[in-house]
Each structure stands twice: as C-alpha cells, then as structure tokens.
C-alpha cells in the first residue's frame, strides 16, 4: 500500500517563508494554522520565544456562536476576535505568517478580518 505524506510539502513552504519572517515584542508574528475542522491564530514574539496571544475555533464561547470551525465564516470570526484581543493587549502592527498555506479561502478571510479589526500588516 502506497501512502502519501501530505504534511511535508507544507512544511517545506513554511520553513522557506520563515527564513524571512521574524516577530518581535513590538511587531509580533501572526501565525495561522488550519486543520480540516478548525482554524488557529496566534501572536508570537520570536525574540523572547513565547506566544503572546492565541485564538482558535475550539473554544466553548466560539462554538456556542458558530456550528463549525472549519469554514470561511469561522475564520472571519477568529480574525475579528484576534484583532480585538490584540488591540486590548496594545498590539497594532503584526507580521503575517500564512504557515505555508495559499493566501486564499480561510487564511485570506482570517487576514482580512484581522485587518478590518484594526491590525496592520
């Protein structure tokens, strides 16, 4: 039986992108991960090596308002929530890390919602 590794091509693209992207405390990296059922976004300070803020579509408050976490509407909601929390934490500008995914669909929806919420990148 021949199996196909579906993760390594994305990992190669992600590592290729990460050579040029670096987050700091003044301008953290907005890292996006998407699975089939959910979408995750976090603000990372690469200089300190810590996650400043994380939002995903698995939380109970999110699932009370949305049926699923794996569609464009959920990605928009996560982007909006991330922008609100980032503004409360005093973050205005970020570096966008699409995580090796195409800038399309859920990734684009999350980015556009974060921009509409007040983040600049």
Domain ranges of the chain: 22-116
Residue 72: per-residue pLDDT: 97
- Note if the pTM is more than 0.85: yes
Residue 61: per-residue pLDDT: 83
Neighbours of 97 (CB within 10 A): 24
What is the Cβ-side half-sphere exposure of residue 10, based on CA atoms within 13 angstroms? 14
Residue 69: per-residue pLDDT: 93
Distance of CA 66 to the CA centre of its chain: 18
Q: pLDDT tens, 75-115?
A: 999 999 999 999 999 999 999 999 999 999 999 999 999 99
CATH numeric code, 22-116? 3.30.420.100
Select from 77, 36, 71, 41 the least CA-distant residue to 56.
41
The helix/strand/coil state of 42 is strand
């Amino acid at each position: 039986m021949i199996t196909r590794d579906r993760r390594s091509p994305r990992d190669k693209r992600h590592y290729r992108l990460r050579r040029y992207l670096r987050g700091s405390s003044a301008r953290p990296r907005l890292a996006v991960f998407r699975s089939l059922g959910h979408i995750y976004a976090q603000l990372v300070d690469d200089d300190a090596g810590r996650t400043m803020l994380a939002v995903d579509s698995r939380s109970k408050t999110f699932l009370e308002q949305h049926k699923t976490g794996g569609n464009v509407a959920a990605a928009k909601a996560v982007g909006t929530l991330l922008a609100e929390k980032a503004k409360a934490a005093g973050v205005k500008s970020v570096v966008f890390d699409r995580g090796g995914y195409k800038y399309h669909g859920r990734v684009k929806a999350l980015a556009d919602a974060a921009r509409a919420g007040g983040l600049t990148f």
